[in-house]
């Protein structure tokens, strides 16, 4: 019996339990002396399988307060298994996944759509997407592989046609990483090819492009409606004995969208170009100062988000962010918007991991 228990333990491996809490107080100014405030944050509990080189798994449950209703929204953002055989690797379950290159603007992310202007930049980790998927990974040689994916619907459906599926090939040409792939989106009945390049020429750089090609539409009309090109540069530099300066600039270009400003009173849609700049300085003491935001060059508006993260104790961080909107009432980012939020907001709190 004892031998069987020991054998079962070796088979299952060990596990690590991690709890993370991020708790904040927020204040938002909506213009015309209209202020709102609320407590917000998130709590997550993760169980990770360890000590098994061929199998990795994670289960995570998360709770987020809803400031509008006062309820607690509970979800399972992670529940997946990764395993490998001598020639094949696979992932099945609700897992994080990303194709292409880019931190915020990423045309190669045809699964989640990595070019959203509504990304919440007032948090330490603002890109955390997962979906129910099954992948197979086939190595093709040094720095090259083929990957296939099937993404099941979020809810049970009798229409198998809404399933997403596709694949990508990643290889290297000299010092440049080349990635190309395709997804069929059954829900939108659209074909989504993409190509992505990443390399280094004094600075790290990346360039991606994609277009959604619905069945039945002309190729020209589909390209005009959906062509997206993203690009970016990134680098870091050591400053003095204990400082590291990180800087990044990303751009999203939609060539067939509007390139001159909408007139006052016109319902704004998408412009042809947006920018994401980011600058951060890390001290050896555990303090990080940062400045990030969005810029709309066409209507000359933007949002600037300064912030800091200070690792005071092991597993304990102080966090603070502010957002300043700069623009006219009818601009993309307005100090006093005609509708919706804008102006100024402040978020401060703590992050605890144990």
- pLDDT tens-digit series, residues 285-329: 789 999 999 999 998 989 999 999 999 999 999 999 999 999 887
Q: Please name every residue paired with 37 in a beta bridge, in sequence order, or none if there are none.
A: 27
Q: How confident is the model at residue 88 (pLDDT cuts 50, 70, 90)?
A: very high
pLDDT at 280 over 90: yes
Predicted TM-score (pTM) of the model is: 0.86
- The per-residue DSSP string of 280-322 comes to EEEETTSEEEEEEEEEETTTTEEEEEEEEEEEEETTEEEEEEE
Whether the pLDDT of residue 131 is over 70: the answer is yes
First-to-last C-alpha distance (Å) of the chain? 35
**Could you read off the pLDDT of 110-126 as tens digits, one per residue?**
887 766 777 778 776 76
Residue 113: beta bridge partners?
Answer: none
Tell me which residue of 305, 320, 307, 317 sits closest to 281, measured CA to CA. 307
Q: Which tokens in the block code for residue 268? A: 């704004």
From residue 320, give the alpha-carbon distance in Å to each of 2, 36, 59, 122, 295: 52, 18, 29, 8, 21
CA distances from 17 to 23, 48, 92, 102, 351 (A): 20, 6, 21, 31, 17
For the chain, give the percent of residues with pLDDT over 90: 43
CA distance readout (Å), 4 to 11, 52, 306 = 10, 18, 57
């Amino acid at each position: 019996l004892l031998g069987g228990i020991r054998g079962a333990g070796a088979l299952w491996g060990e596990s690590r339990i991690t709890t993370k809490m991020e708790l904040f107080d927020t204040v938002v100014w909506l213009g015309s002396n209209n202020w709102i405030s609320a407590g917000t944050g998130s709590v997550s509990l993760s169980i990770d399988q360890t000590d098994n080189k061929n199998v990795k798994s994670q289960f995570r449950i998360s709770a987020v307060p809803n400031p509008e209703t006062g309820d607690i929204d509970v979800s399972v953002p992670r529940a997946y298994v990764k395993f490998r055989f001598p020639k094949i690797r696979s992932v099945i379950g609700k897992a994080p996944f990303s194709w292409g290159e880019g931190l915020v603007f990423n045309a190669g992310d045809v699964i989640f759509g990595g070019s959203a202007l509504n990304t919440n930049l007032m948090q330490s980790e603002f890109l955390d997407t997962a979906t129910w998927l099954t992948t197979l990974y086939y190595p093709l040689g040094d720095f090259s592989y083929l990957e296939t994916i099937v993404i099941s619907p979020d809810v049970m459906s009798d229409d198998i046609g809404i399933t997403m599926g596709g694949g990508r090939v990643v290889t290297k040409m000299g010092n440049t990483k080349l990635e190309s792939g395709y997804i069929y989106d059954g829900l939108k009945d659209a074909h989504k090819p993409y190509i992505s390049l990443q390399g280094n020429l004094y600075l790290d750089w990346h360039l991606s492009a994609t277009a959604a090609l619905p069945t039945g539409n002309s190729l020209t009309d589909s390209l005009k409606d959906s062509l997206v090109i993203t690009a970016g540069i990134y680098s870091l530099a050591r400053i003095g004995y204990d400082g590291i300066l990180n800087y990044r600039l990303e751009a999203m270009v939609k060539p067939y969208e509007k390139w001159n400003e909408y007139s006052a009173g016109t319902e704004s849609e998408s412009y042809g170009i947006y920018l994401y700049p980011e600058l951060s300085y890390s001290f050896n003491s555990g303090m990080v100062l940062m400045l990030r935001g969005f810029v709309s060059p066409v209507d000359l508006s933007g949002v600037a988000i300064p912030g800091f993260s200070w690792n005071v104790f092991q597993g304990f961080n102080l966090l603070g962010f502010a957002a300043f909107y700069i623009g006219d009432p009818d601009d993309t980012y307005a100090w006093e918007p005609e509708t919706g939020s804008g102006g100024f907001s402040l978020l401060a709190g703590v992050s605890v991991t144990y």
